Amino acid sequence: IQRGASSARSDDTKSLKGVVLDWITPRGELLHPCLSWNIKTDHGFNYERTGKLLCPAGLNWSNSEIKHKLRNGEMLVSGDQWPVFLYHGYIYNAEDPWQELFWSFILVSAYKHIFTSPSSVEQ
C-alpha cells in the first residue's frame, strides 16, 4: 500500500509543471507571451510574471533597475530572501515578515495537489 501511495504522490508531483502555469495566470487572462514549460531560458527572472513572483520580498519588481540586476545576475538572491510568491496575496509586510508567509495560493494549491488530490485544488 505504501509503495502505491508513494507512486501516486510521485505522479502528482510530476504533473505540477503544467498546473503551475495555470496557477500563475491571473483568472480570465492569458500569459503573454506564452510561457513554455519545457524551454527554461524564458523562465525565472527572464519572464515578467515569474520574475514578479520570484522577486525577493521587500524588493520592488516594478523598479526597472532591480529587475535588470536580478535578470543579469548583478543582484544575487541569498537563501534568506523569501520570494514574494510564498506570501498570501503576494504581499510582504516588512514590519512582520512572518505574517501570512507560506499561505500563498500557489503554495497551498501545490500542497493540495500533492497530498490530497489534484482535483482538491479547485475546492
- Tens digits of residue pLDDT in 11-62: 667 788 788 888 998 888 888 888 776 777 888 999 999 999 999 999 999 9
Q: What is the pTM of this model?
A: 0.82
**E strands along 4-123, which residues?**
none
- 94 half-sphere exposure, CB direction, 13 A CA radius: 4
Cell of 10: 510521485
Rounded to an integer, what distance in angstroms lies between the CA atom of residue 20 and that of residue 113? Answer: 10
C-alpha cell at 119: 482535483
Q: What is the distance between the alpha carbons of residues 92 and 70, in angstroms, rounded to a whole number?
A: 19
For 56-115, write each residue's pLDDT tens digit: 999 999 999 999 999 999 999 999 999 999 999 999 999 999 999 999 999 999 999 988
**Helical packing angle, 2-14 and 105-115, nearest 10°:** 140
